[in-house]
Amino acid sequence: MARDNPGRIQRLISRLVTRVPWFRRRYSRWLLRYLAKSRKKGRPIPPELQQLERQLAKVPPKKRAEVVETALLAGDPDAAPSSRAIRRALARQQRQRPSGKGQRPGTLGGSRVVERR
Longest CA span, the chain: 70
In DSSP terms, 96 is beta-bridged to: 103
Q: Are 55 and 94 in contact (CB under 8 A)?
A: no
In DSSP terms, 103 is beta-bridged to: 96
Res. 81: pLDDT tops 60:
no
How many alpha carbons lie under 13 Å from residue 20 in its C-beta half-sphere? 10
Q: 0.85 cut: is pTM over it?
A: no
Q: What are the pLDDT digits (tens) for 21-69?
A: 898 899 999 999 999 999 899 999 888 888 888 888 888 988 999 888 8
